Amino acid sequence: MCMTMGEIIKMLRLQANMTQEELGEKIGVQKSAVRKYEKGEVENIKRSTIKKMADLFNVSPCYLMGWEDAYNPNGRLAKEVSLIEQIQNQYGKDAVQLLQNFVELNELGKSKALESVSDLTEIQKYTEKEDADLCSK
């Protein structure tokens, strides 16, 4: 089932817990314009407005206009891959694995994981760097 651009805008706005007025403020239009977009009463939305909405919702303009079936496969996925690469370059593969495991946890599990990691940082043998160990021998 294909969604119209108006339906997509409304869905994304609601997912972001925004009112029509809040969306309008963020993209520089009146609440009434947002209402018209969502109802499909405006056929030619300015490109700059489409771009602002797409950026705000982290989707591609093509997705926003109903031309793609999935969320921003080029932009959003590329950003996520870039972020993972940055984490791996800065902190190593273990940090990426830790983050991947963390996001699979429910809220109780996340709370417990944070508590456990926090406890470990209080114990010197777990926080000493390997280079420091070699120098002290």
* Overall average pLDDT of the 24-38 stretch: 95
Ordered by where they begin, the domains of the chain are 5-64 (1.10.260.40), 75-136 (no CATH)
- Measured between alpha carbons, how far is 16 from 8 in angstroms, rounded to an integer? 12
Instruction: Report the pLDDT value the prediction gives residue 112, as an integer from 0 to 100.
Output: 95
pTM of the prediction?
A: 0.51
Per-residue pLDDT for 49 more than 60?
A: yes
Select, from the ranges 27-41, 58-72, 79-93, 95-109, the one with the highest average predicted confidence (pLDDT): 27-41
- Measured between alpha carbons, how far is 113 from 115 in angstroms, rounded to an integer? 5
Element spanning 39, H or E: helix 31-39
For residues 2 and 66, the answer to whether their CB atoms sit within 8 Å is yes
- Measured between alpha carbons, how far is 70 from 59 in angstroms, rounded to an integer? 9
Per-residue pLDDT for 38 more than 70?
A: yes
